């Protein structure tokens, strides 16, 4: 009799331990991986949800050759083989747009330069016909503005500032798809450092200066989108 009771107790203890291990494993499986930049992503997700940010995008890798017909005064608007995205650039622009739409924050406008390359990038990132693109020569590369209009650097800087400031909109975000700026005309130092495909997220100070929230590459946008999606799933389970 005592032996039977001991056997039953052992079985009960085994079942208890097995149940605990199963529950611990199930709980662990529901936890999602927190990326190394989770703290930054949390801050950015809150800021993007609030709005009043400008996301500055430098086109992904592209081919810029000398085959353009420079005798045409508007050669930089032409979508010719010398000014197009590489295969990697096409994939990067599409991936960046997908990540942005997965996060799901509101945006007010998409401003681009008049160089055909930025129109290509915008069309891949924002495929909805309801997304208007605001094209401006003020966002053209500095070397174009020097050649076309004879602008000095201080004038080019004012032109860029005039194009970007109205993009700060209460309650919503805006995109500016433009170019890496030379230091002489850069509104913020990071704009002369961005690599192809990089983005810089700015807020606006009370004095009207750009304040850098973060510099992100495309892989970091994808990671932030995945992190945001996992956070939503966790909240829905509660």
**What's the N-to-C CA distance of the chain in angstroms?**
47
Helix (H, G, I), strand (E, B) or coil at 203: strand
The answer to pTM > 0.85 is no
Note whether 120 and 86 are within 8 A (CB).
Answer: no
- Return the percentage of the chain with pLDDT > 90, whole number: 60
**Torsion angles phi and psi, residue 80, rounded to 5:** -105, 165
CB 115 within 8 A of CB 59: no
Nearest to 85 by CA among 66, 59, 48, 55: 59
pLDDT band, very low/low/confident/very high, at 128 (cuts 50, 70, 90): confident
Q: Is the pLDDT of residue 124 over 70?
A: yes
In this predicted structure, the answer to whether residue 3 has a pLDDT above a threshold of 60 is no
- Tell me, what's the pLDDT at 147? 81
Tell me if 195 sits within 8 A of 89, measured CB to CB.
no
The most confident of the ranges 20-29, 125-134, 149-158, 203-212 is: 203-212
If we measure between CA atoms, which residue out of 146, 150, 176 comes closest to residue 161? Answer: 176
Higher local confidence (pLDDT), 200 or 145: 200
Class of domain 38-237: alpha beta
Higher-confidence residue of 215 and 12: namely 215
Confidence of residue 1 (pLDDT cuts 50, 70, 90): low
Q: pLDDT (tens digit, 9 = 90+) per residue, 51-105?
A: 999 999 999 988 755 444 555 666 666 676 556 788 899 999 999 999 999 999 9
């Amino acid at each position: 009799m005592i032996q039977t009771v001991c056997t039953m107790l052992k079985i009960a203890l085994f079942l208890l331990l097995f149940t605990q291990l199963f529950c611990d494993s199930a709980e662990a499986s529901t936890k999602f991986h927190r990326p190394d930049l989770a703290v930054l992503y949390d801050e950015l997700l809150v800021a993007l949800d609030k709005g009043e940010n400008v996301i500055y995008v430098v086109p992904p890798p592209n081919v810029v050759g000398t085959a353009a017909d420079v005798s045409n005064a508007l050669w930089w608007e032409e979508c010719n083989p010398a000014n197009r995205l590489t295969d990697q650039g096409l994939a990067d622009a599409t991936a960046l747009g997908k990540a942005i739409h997965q996060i799901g924050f509101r945006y007010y406008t998409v401003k681009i330069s008049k160089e055909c390359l930025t129109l290509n990038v915008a069309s891949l990132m924002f495929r909805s016909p309801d997304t208007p693109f605001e094209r401006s020569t003020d966002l053209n590369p500095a070397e174009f503005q020097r050649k076309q209009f004879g602008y000095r650097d201080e004038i080019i800087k004012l032109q860029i500032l005039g194009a970007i400031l109205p993009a700060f909109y209460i309650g919503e975000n805006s995109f500016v798809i433009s170019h890496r700026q030379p230091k002489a005309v850069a509104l913020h130092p990071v704009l002369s450092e961005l690599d192809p495909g990089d983005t810089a997220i700015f807020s606006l100070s009370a004095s009207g200066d750009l304040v850098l929230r973060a510099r992100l590459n495309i892989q970091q946008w994808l990671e932030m989108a995945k992190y945001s999606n996992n956070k939503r799933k966790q909240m829905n389970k509660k």
